[in-house]
Structure 1
C-alpha cells in the first residue's frame, strides 16, 4: 500500500505543525567599495508558546549574522542585533529585507517599474554594517502560521501580535545565545504601531532595549477614521510635495522649504478653518480653498464642493488625470495608467497602488531565489506575502492604554506606549524616519502626535527625526537609502 500524499507533497498523516528543517550557510561575503563583511545567513522557524506553554504558532525568520567586518573578527556579545519587520497587518518582511536593509537588494531606478530581468546586488545601504539582522514574519504571513487548533483571535490583534513578537524575540535570543548583545527593533508602517507596544512589552518582560527605529510611522489610529479632520490636515503637506513633484505647484521652491511652508499653512490657517465647520465665513472658506489650490493643485471650486476636505483617492485620481495617469499611495511619485471609467469600486481603486506594483514582485522573486539557491531552504507551503484582506480587515484594534482609567480603546493612540516605555527606560534611543511623498503614514500626523506627549527635554533628546525625499518604503529611493546609511551609523553609535 502506497503512502497517501497531500497536494504539497508531504504525507497526509504529517503533523499539521511540522515545518521544513532550517538551513544555514556560512562564509557569505558582502562587498561595497573597500567595505567587506563576512556573514552567515539562516532561515527557519521559531516555536512560540503562550504563557500556558501551549504552542501558539511557528514564526518564520531569515537572519544574517556577521563573522568579520572589514577584516576584524566580530565579538557577538558586543555586536547589536536588530529585529526587523514590515506591517500591514498582514505583510511579510520581504520588502524591508530585499528592498532595503538586508545584504542583498534588488536594483531600483527612481519611479520606474522593475522588469522581469531585475538585478540583485550587494546592498549598498544594508544595515548589516551596524548590526546583525533578524527579519521576522508575523504569524499568518510568509511561512509563519498559527498552530493547528489555536484560536486565531488570540493572535490577530494589536496587543496579541505585539506579545507574540515579544515571545519570538526572547526565543531567538535564547536559541542564539545573544542576550549580551545590544538589542534593537526596526518596524515599518504598521510595524511602527507594533513597535510602539512591543517596546513597552519588552521592558515589562525584562528585556533591555537599546534602540527603536520607526520607518513610516503612524501612532494615533483615530486620525485614520472617516470624518476626522486630523486626517485631512496630515495629508495636505504630502499632497503639496506630490503636486510639486509633478510640476503642478511649487516650481522654483526648494522641496523641503515647500513642505515646511505647506505644513505652516496647515497648522496656522487650514486647521483653524476646519475647526469652524459650517460656522466659517464663506469668504474665509474660499480664501482657504484658493490657498489649498496654490499648494496641492486641486481646483478651489472642487475643494469648496467638498468643504475643503479632500480624500486621498480623489487626489490620486485627479492630480495627473490630464496625463491619463493616477499616482500612488505608498509613494505618490509612482504612476500608472488610470483605471477604466467602469472600474468605479472605491476599495478596488484604493488598493491599486503603482508604488506596490513597481517592485513587490521582484523583491519576492529575489527572496525565493536566495532561499533556494544560497541557503538550500525549500518549503512546499504557500508563502503569504501580503494578506491584509484576510488578516487586516478583521484585526482587533482594542488596546488597554497605559495609565488610563481601565479604558480599552478601539482607536488607540500608541504614542502613550512610547512615552511610557521611554520613561521607564530613558537610555533607549528612538529614531523616526519618513518621507514627504508618503500618503499611507503622513509625516505631519506623526509629528503632530509626538508633539502632544509633552515629553521632558531629557526624553526628547533621545529621539531623532529624519524626513527624506521619498515615500513609504524609503529604501526604494537610492539617495534616501544612502542617507539612511549615515543616519543609522550615527544612531547606532550614539550612547
Structure 2
C-alpha cells in the first residue's frame, strides 16, 4: 500500500494520568434502589499530533457520562421508592456512555469548534471513525486486501484536530458503554431512545467541559447519520443550535434501504436508488462501462434509473414482454449481469445478489460496504452473498488497534471488555415520532422531517453530505435522492453540500482519500464556525 509517513507523536503521558479514574461498581455489588447504577469515570493524558506540518498539542480525556431514559428527572427514584406504580412510564434503566475527547492545548473554548463523532450499526461503537479517520492515531490496513497481525498504528496526519476539538462517543451498550436495569432494552435500543441518549450526552458534556459557547458540529457515519439528523431537532429543543452536521454514508429514510425490498412488493424505490452503485461496481470490475470515465457513466445510469427503469418497474406485471426483454438488455449493459438472470429476477436486483452474481464465474463475492473488495464465495449455490469481504478484511485490525491504543496510550479500560458490536439490528425499536405527530409511527423510520424542521428553525445550520460510489450498504444515490426530497424552501437547500469519492462506505480506509476528505471537512468547518 502506498503510504505517506506522518510526523511522529511528540509525547503521551497516559501512564501518569492527571485525573484519577473512578471505576464502575463491580457487577456482583448491586446498588440500593435509590442509588445510581453507574459512576462517571475519567482519565486524562497529554499528546501531540502533526497535521499539515503543524504540531498540535492536546489533552485527551477518556471517560464516561451517565444518562437516563426519556422522561427521567431527579424525582423519579423518589417516586418509585414511595409508590411502586409511580413513574412507571419511565424505563427503570441507566446508561454509562464512553467517550474519548481531544482538546487542543491553549485554544480558547469560546471560539474553538467542537465536533461530536459517532458510528452507527445500530449496535456499533465508534472505533472506526476514531482509529480510521480523525483521531490522533490511525491503524494501517492494506488497500483492498485482508491484513494480518501485527497491526501497525501510525500518527494521523489527517486528524481533524487542526480545526476542531473532537469527542468520539460509543452508543449505549457498545465499546466501554454499559446499560443496566430491568428495562434496559426498552430504554436504549431504538431510534428515538438512541437519539435521546446522544442528545443528553452532548448537553451534559457541554456543561461538564464548559463548551456551551463553542461552535458545535455532529459527524455521523452510516446509522449514525440517522442519529445525527434526529439530534439536530432534539438538541434545538434543549436550546442547543448546531453550526453544522457532516453525514458520511447517509441513510435518513429507511424506505430506501435496499436490505429486503423483495418482501415488500410494490415498493420499488430501493431498486432504483441502488442501481448506480451496482453500475459503479460492474464498472470497477470491468463488467460494464468499458472505456468510460466513472463520473459521466454514473450520471447516465442515474438518469436511466429515475427515468426509463423507474417507469418500467412502476408498470409491474403489466409491462409488455418485449419491453421487459429490452429493459433486461439495458440493465445488462449497466450491471454486467446476464439478461437471463435479470429476467428471472423480474428486473429487480435484490440486496446481496449483485455481490454474489457479478463475479460468480470466478467463484468470488464482492464486498457490500466496499464492492471493490473481493473474497471467495462461501456457498456457490446461494442466492445472495453470505458475508462482506471488506468487513472480514479490516475488522480485526481496527479492534486490535483500538484495544491496544485505549489501554496502552490513553490508560483506560484495565479489566474491562470493549464490546465491538451488539446484535441488536433485528430487535431494534424502529418506531420514530416525527415532529408534529402525536405518537410514534408504525413504519420504517424517516428523520427527514426532523432535519427539515431544524433547518427551518435554524437557517444557519449547514450540512455536508459525503459517501462512496462503491457502497451498497448505504448507496450514494439513495442519500442524494432523499435529501433532494427534504421539505425545506429553496434558499435552505443551498445549505447542503455534497461530496462523493471513489471509495466505499468507509472512505477513510484509503489514506489518499482520507486526506481529500479531511480537506473537505476541514474547509466546511472553517466556513461555518462563525469565526472571522
Of structures 1 and 2, the one with the larger relative CO (CA 8 A, separation 6+) is 1
Alignment of 1:125-144 (within 5 A): 125-144=158-177
Q: Distance in 2 between matches of 1:202 and 1:77?
A: 19
Shift of 1:483: 1.3
- What's the secondary structure of 1:375's corresponding residue? coil
Change (3 A) 1:424 1:319: same
Q: For residues 366-418 of structure 1, what are the alpha-carbon distances to aligned partners after superposition, in whole Å with 9 as ceiling and x for unaligned?
A: 1111112112212423221111x2x2211111111223575724212211111
Q: Distance in 2 between matches of 1:372 and 1:20?
A: 18
- 1:40 aligned residue: 59
- 1:70 aligned residue: none
Q: Is the 8 A contact 2:176 2:417 kept in 1?
A: yes
Q: Distance in 1 between matches of 2:227 and 2:52?
A: 36
- 1:466 aligned residue: 499
Q: Distance in 2 between matches of 1:461 and 1:145?
A: 40
Aligned mate of 1:392, from 404, 425, 439: 425
Change (3 A) 1:229 1:345: closer
Aligned mate of 1:354, from 389, 413, 416: 389
- What's the secondary structure of 1:139's corresponding residue? coil
- 1:243 aligned residue: 282
Q: Distance in 2 between matches of 1:406 and 1:132?
A: 37
1:278 and 2:299 matched: no
Aligned mate of 2:403, from 368, 374, 377: 368
- 2:79 aligned residue: none
Q: Is the 8 A contact 1:400 1:409 kept in 2?
A: no
Q: Is the 8 A contact 1:20 1:378 kept in 2?
A: no
- What's the secondary structure of 1:40's corresponding residue? strand
Q: Is the 8 A contact 1:81 1:132 kept in 2?
A: yes
Alignment of 1:42-191 (within 5 A): 42-50=61-69, 51-53=72-74, 56-67=94-105, 73-191=106-224
1:13 and 2:29 matched: yes
Q: Distance in 2 between matches of 1:406 and 1:170?
A: 25
RMSD: 2.1
Shift of 1:52: 2.2
- 2:45 aligned residue: 25
- 1:321 aligned residue: 360
Shift of 1:21: 4.2
Q: Is the 8 A contact 1:330 1:473 kept in 2?
A: yes
User: Which runs of 4 or more aligned residues in structure 1 lie more than 4 Å from their structure 2 counterparts after TM superposition?
Assistant: 8-11, 18-21, 404-407
Aligned mate of 1:263, from 302, 321, 329: 302
Q: Distance in 2 between matches of 1:186 and 1:280?
A: 44
Pick which of 271-280 and 119-128 moved more: 119-128
Shift of 1:147: 2.9
Q: Distance in 1 between matches of 2:256 and 2:53?
A: 46
- 1:5 aligned residue: none
Shift of 1:260: 1.3
- Structure 1 segments unaligned to the other structure (5+ residues): 1-7, 68-72
Q: Distance in 2 between matches of 1:144 and 1:449?
A: 32
1:339 and 2:378 matched: yes
- What's the secondary structure of 1:399's corresponding residue? coil
Q: Distance in 1 between matches of 2:369 and 2:94?
A: 32
Pick which of 316-325 and 147-156 moved more: 147-156
- What's the secondary structure of 2:409's corresponding residue? helix
- 1:309 aligned residue: 348
- Structure 2 segments unaligned to the other structure (5+ residues): 1-23, 77-92
Q: Is the 8 A contact 1:57 1:139 kept in 2?
A: yes
Q: How many residues align?
A: 476
Shift of 1:345: 9.0
Pick which of 193-202 and 52-61 moved more: 52-61
TM, length-normalised to structure 1 = 0.91
- What's the secondary structure of 1:39's corresponding residue? strand
Shift of 1:354: 1.1
Q: Is the 8 A contact 1:82 1:185 kept in 2?
A: yes
Q: Is the 8 A contact 1:80 1:131 kept in 2?
A: yes
Shift of 1:443: 1.4
Aligned mate of 2:448, from 409, 412, 415: 415
